[in-house]
Structure 1
Amino acid sequence: MTVTQGRAAESGRAVPLPPGRLHIGGQWLPAADGRTAPILDPATGVELTRVAVAGPVDVDRAVTAARKAFDDGPWARMTPRERGRKLWRVADLLRARATEFARLESLDVGKPLAFTTTVDIPTVIDTFEYYAGLMAGLEGATRATAAPSFAYTRREPIGVVAAITPFNFPAILSATKLAPALAAGNTVVHKPAPETPLSALLFAELLAEAGLPDGVYNLITGDGPAGAALVAHPGVDKIAFTGSSAVGARVAAQAAATLKQVTVELGGKGANIIFADADLSAAIETAVGAFVFNTGQFCMSGSRVLVQRPVYQEVVEALGAAAAHVPVGDPFAEGVVVGPMAGPLHLAKVVSFLDEAASSGAQVIGGQRPDGPGFFIRPAVLPHVAQDSPLVQEEVFGPVVTVQPFDSEEEAIRLANGTRYGLSAGLQTRDVSRAHRVAAALNAGIVWVNGWALLDPAMPFGGTGASGYGRENGPEGLNAYLRTKSVVVNLA
């Protein structure tokens, strides 16, 4: 299928669309009740295609297929290196179709094509290659015991994994779950966000082409009830969820009823601290990128900037000027930095935050809605926002940044740690001792010094508090999909 509506066709850059069906047990199937839902182009609001909406019957079929593939199939019984070779093959296929993947991701999410081409899809490829490489060293350990015995540990897959992924980084955040889960020998039922399922449909094609046995990867598209049915299903052994803190809390509570293992990577309210001794030009550039990247739809966004008072006004003015000149528009257009929000509900949420701030007397620099179709909004800078403001305490999830002054290092740390979130943070300074001291004091799963969003498949990330628990990426990400078994052989 090829897009024949909207800007992709109008610009002469039609994007092939994968089949909008469920992928269960190696077969492409419609939903059992025939339901479908539209997928919209966020840059125009035009319908791109329709995809199947899974119901309870479909969820059960997918879990049953994954269960059978795990219990009876070869995947979990392959050597780690054999599975690693399959993942290398996935990476090769992704590289061969990187342009198609990048265009599809831009079309589906509204990301600028320049970013999906240079960031999103290369990261997906790197992630599969990273976990493929780890398979060469997957091993247990022998242990000395007091009794005469030969004792050792085995690292084994958990079973059936339900991977539930969000709308903002569909390809990357699918890879951070699928690559380690599959490398470890698990089977997967994947439910992407209902707004942005297209790259997951393409993943299903590639994983089958790479030679994964039927039922090892199963894909169900649909809305919240499908996700709830998946979380509750007794045939699922582990939940890996990325999404909002509110939904993540419900997922964890529901999974506890059947004692499933759970990792949840949730919302954030990242503080970016700019000290007066920082390279201000670089720090301001970093701060702008940290809050407008991916149209602010980034759980690790630098949505709060804390600035030491001697340079506060200079930074506020620079951020306001930058917000007015960030290129906003068609993700397929050259030079665009900020595309549309992923959908109308996400746009409405950001607008409501800004409207409430303006009505309460706050200064809002930027934040206008451009004329024309699509779900666009310009970046917004809000200086002098109080610590107890919803703009500081709640995740806006859009291109909006608050700017607060501070005097001392201790005050900066207190303000940075003064929310219920603990996912990401950063600081800009020339003082090496301060960099290490403040990084240690910040309540965050990942801290960047003199930069932002410096991510790599080798480096784990995850949160504390309302930002969730568990880690993705790195060896820690693989450990989340393995269980340890001890074997003790009596030698007496």
Structure 2
Amino acid sequence: MSALSPLRNYIDGAFTDAADGRTTLVVDPSTGEAYATAPLSAAADVDRAMAAAEAAFGPWRDTTPARRQLALLKIADAVEARARELVDAECRDTGKPRRITATEEIGPMVDHIRFFAGAARLLEGKAAGEYMDGMTSIVRREPVGVCAQVAPWNYPMMTAVWKFAPAIAAGNTVVLKPSDTTPASTVLLAEIVGDVLRAMDLPAGVFNVICGDRETGRLMVEHRTPAMASITGSVRAGIQVAESAAKDVKRVHLELGGKAPVVVFEDADIDEAVEGISVAGFFNAGQDCTAATRVLVHESVHDAFVAALAKAAADTRTGGVDDEDVLYGPLNNANQLKQVAGFIERLPAHAKVEAGGHRVGEVGYFYAPTVVSGLNQDDEIVQNEVFGPVITVQRFTDEDQAVSYANGVEYALASSVWTKDHARAMRMSRRLDFGCVWINTHIPLVAEMPHGGFKKSGYGKDLSSYGFEDYTRVKHVMTAI
């Protein structure tokens, strides 16, 4: 076996190993073989990163919004200039197709950084005024402080941007931990940010990245320094973070799981719906908390829809990073492959696998595009997040039943409605209990609009001015006149 590439933490503008020298293996999911090592950061490493972020907070907070904006714009330019390196790192960690990663992720990442660069100069608050006789009140919108952030493995570099960009734009400093299975692109992002900060003579500790496992994340969240904890991950992880953060009454931002309902009415264009839903369900191997994985179809078009969706699944390919004809690559890790396969193995007798339902190949963690029909609302695969290339289909009789089925899960992140009836689409958008409702489309995101859910999908928003506000605090100042 060839020598493993060493990844390192990035703290206070410099690369460093874990204090005790411990490492973990980083596996290429396309092969199932380790290709790198990463630090297994412990308490001493967390202390060091938090100290760097805390030391940088004062001068960074006091940097003008215009200067912070300029730094973010330069970071966006640098990300664009080093796109090939970032794509290489991301694909090695995730197995994603190189072409799709380059076209679908780099552009939005750069745009999101530039959006928050602008947001840095658009802080909002109530107008100053005399709301009490003889007194003038003003509102200050201030950064929260040091932010402890934990990113997931499904979109490592994209979610890293979603976390650090609004945080530092608002004047906060960051300690971010990528998933232990996908650290490479985040470490590279830290280097890119660090180079810009150094060139502008700005504090080196504004953005720090430490690698590690769940214990590392727990140490970060429970550390006394951060004023805020932010995580994108599972419901289980979110609950643990909220519990840990509660000990110091830290602010918490949670973007957790999803089980997006996709409601297809009898008047929908079936061909367009199948095309849009199959891509939105299988993209990134279904490893997306907004993925179109739970389809509800009116009984009058159910059979035709299932047949068309099964054909679309059969025509969809998974494969290696350099295969330009595939839609998605492998599942991220061996445990995830086991989880997805387990859902299919445990299907009840009344369920029918219309397409897929099996592993692809013996090397790596590839799983076939899968469609399952004949399901009941209380079936495990309907109620729980699969996080794989699996689309389930249920039938409904009327609008009320569609709403009941759609809302009848613990998640509430995203949803979509497919119909030509505008009034019905508006009724459904009001009744669906999800943070996002798409109409005749599914999965597009834009920097100006918020992304975040309700119920067990968490709270707080990514993207948009709403997400920016999560990283600021409001102070009232009153003076006698």
TM class by smaller structure: over 0.9
Displacement of 1:174 in angstroms is: 0.9
Q: Does 1:323 align with 2:313?
A: yes
1:37 match: secondary structure: strand
Gaps of 5+ in 1: 7-16
Give the whole-Å Cα distance in 2 for the aligned partners of 1:468 and 1:261.
Answer: 13
Cα deviation, residue 139, structure 1: 4.7
Over residues 140-178 of structure 1, what are the superposed CA-to-partner deviations in whole Å (9 max), with x where a residue is unaligned?
441331221222111110000011100001111111111
2:50 aligns with one of 63, 81, 89: 63
1:82-161 correspondence runs (5 A): 82-140=67-125, 141-161=127-147
Q: Equivalent residue for 1:21?
A: 8
Instruction: Compute the TM-score of the two structures, normalised by the length of structure 2.
Output: 0.96
Conserved in 2, the CA contact under 8 Å of 1:103 and 1:116? no
Aligned length: 475
Alignment partner of 1:336: what SS? coil
Question: Structure 1 residue 119: deviation in Å?
Answer: 1.2
Q: Structure 1-normalised TM-score?
A: 0.94
Aligned partner of 2:399 among 397, 401, 409: 409
1:304 deviates by: 0.4
| Distance in 2 of aligned mates of 1:178 and 1:337 | 29
1:87 Cα offset (Å):
0.1
Aligned residue runs from structure 1 range 201-240, under 5 A = 201-211=187-197, 212-240=202-230
What's the counterpart of residue 40 of structure 2? 53
Per the alignment, residue 469 of structure 2 pairs with 479
What is the CA–CA distance in structure 1 between the aligned matches of 2:129 and 2:224, rounded to whole Å? 34
Mapped partners of 1:281, 1:256: distance in 2: 49
Shift of residue 362, structure 1, vs aligned partner: 2.4
Q: Percent of aligned pairs with the same residue?
A: 40
Output the CA distance in 2 between the equivalents of 1:314 and 1:165: 40
Q: Is the 8 A contact 1:90 1:207 kept in 2?
A: yes
SS in 2 for 1:137: coil
- C-alpha distance in structure 2 between counterparts of 1:337 and 1:465, whole Å: 31
Secondary structure, aligned partner of 2:121: helix
Distance change >3 Å, CA 335–CA 5, structure 1 → 2: farther
Instruction: State the alpha-carbon separation in 2 of the partners of residues 65 and 99 from structure 1.
Output: 30
Which letter does structure 2 place at the counterpart of 1:413? V
- In structure 2, relative to structure 1, the CA distance for the partners of 1:311 and 1:33 (3 Å cut) is same
- Distance (whole Å) between structure 2 residues aligned to residue 143 and residue 88 of structure 1: 34
> CA-to-partner distance for each residue in 1:269-328, whole Å, 9 max, x for gaps?
000011110111100111101210110000011110000111100111111111112011
Distance 1:121 1:324 in 2: 29
CA-to-partner distance for each residue in 1:209-229, whole Å, 9 max, x for gaps? 111521111111010100000
**Matched residues in 2 for 1:434 and 1:139: separation?**
35
RMSD: 1.5
SS in 2 for 1:388: coil
Distance in 2, Cα, partners of 1:362 & 1:57: 51
Rounded to whole Å, the distance in 2 between the matches of 1:143 and 1:208 is 41
CA distance in 1, matches of 2:277, 2:190: 37
CA distance in 1, matches of 2:473, 2:87: 35
Does the CA contact (< 8 Å) of 1:106 and 1:332 recur in 2? no
Cα deviation for residue 361 of structure 1 reads 5.2
Indicate if the aligned counterparts of 1:231 and 1:255 stay in contact, CA closer than 8 A: yes
Q: Does 2:186 align with 1:200?
A: yes
How far residue 371 of structure 1 moved from its aligned partner, in angstroms, is: 2.2
SS in structure 2 of the partner of residue 145 of structure 1: strand
Q: Deviations over 1:78-112 (max 9, x none)?
A: 11111010000000001111122122212211211
Do structure 1's residue 362 and structure 2's residue 362 form an aligned pair?
no
Paired with 1:382 and 1:280, the residues of 2 have a C-alpha distance of: 18
Alignment match, 1:451:
441
Other structure's SS at 2:462 match: coil
Report if the CA contact (8 A) 1:112-1:331 is conserved. Answer: yes
**1:79 aligned to 58, 61, 64, which one?**
64
